[in-house]
Amino acid sequence: MTELAERRKTAFEALRNRIISCRKCPRLIDYISRVSNEKVRRYSEWSYWGRPLPGFGDSEARLLVIGLAPAAHGGNRTGRMFTGDSSGDWLMRALHETGFANQSESVSVDDGLRLRSAYVTAAVRCAPPGNKPLAEEIMNCSEYLREEARILTEVETVLTLGRIAFDAYVRYILPKTVQRPRFMHGGHYEFGDLPSLFTSYHPSRQNTQTGRLTWEMWMEVFKRIKQIMA
């Protein structure tokens, strides 16, 4: 392992510990604890993770994917972002089809999934009630997003999924001197020497089942990212 890789590993381990032990948002901690204890019938045999979640992926990632937050019965149950819910199914299938993941399924932390040159994280680290975090909660989590961006020095492209992830990246990561981009599905922005930014609707059931986000629309974003990165 190179010296740089060793430093990244140490930095990510320290960050992971900070995130897991975070208790900055009492409303969110109360909610994920309650969900983890009450569960739902189909997952009654699971021992829920029930804590804030760090990101995961390749420490030398060239692509950074930012979502909204863990799902109450997805990441909050399994202990990994975009794992065990329909949004994770869409994301990992797309990453697999474009060569960023070794498999198309993301069901548990021991399912063998490995990301290649990609890192997945979220604007908020605890599942929020109704998938609606408060502004203060997003701000509290922003330090973890900033730290991930600082450690991931190889990132060339950022993909934000949904308006909340987009706003978090623009507000807390992009320099104030950069012209503010506009959120839209399929948006693509260049900022000189900074990573380029792609924007997409979030692959939530609300979007995919209503047709607001189709598989073709979704895959077009990933194909464009792959072409540019190639």
pLDDT (tens digit per residue) in 53-98: 999 999 999 999 999 999 999 999 999 999 999 999 999 999 999 9
- Report the C-alpha gap between 32 and 4 in whole angstroms: 35
Query: Residue 153's pLDDT is what?
Result: 96
CB-based contact 76:35 (threshold 8 Å): yes
User: 3-229 has which fold?
Assistant: Uracil-DNA Glycosylase, subunit E (3.40.470)
pLDDT band at 4, cuts 50/70/90?
confident
- DSSP secondary structure letters along 53-110: ---EE-TT-SEEEEES---TTTHHHHSSTT-SSHHHHHHHHHHHHTTSBS-S---STT
User: How far is residue 130 CA from its own chain's centroid?
Assistant: 18
**pTM over cut 0.85:** yes
Residue type at position 80? R
pLDDT band at 26, cuts 50/70/90?
very high
Query: Residue 186's pLDDT is what?
Result: 97
- Dihedral sign (CA 20, 22, 28, 29): positive
- Report the C-alpha gap between 221 and 188 in whole angstroms: 9
Place of tokens 């399912």: 111
Residue 155 carries which DSSP code? -
At a CB cut-off of 8 Å and minimum separation 6, what does 84 contact? Answer: 71, 73, 74, 75, 77, 78, 106, 107, 108
3-state secondary structure of 183: coil
The two tokens of residue 201 are: 């609707």
pLDDT band at 3, cuts 50/70/90?
confident
Mean pLDDT for all residues in the chain = 97
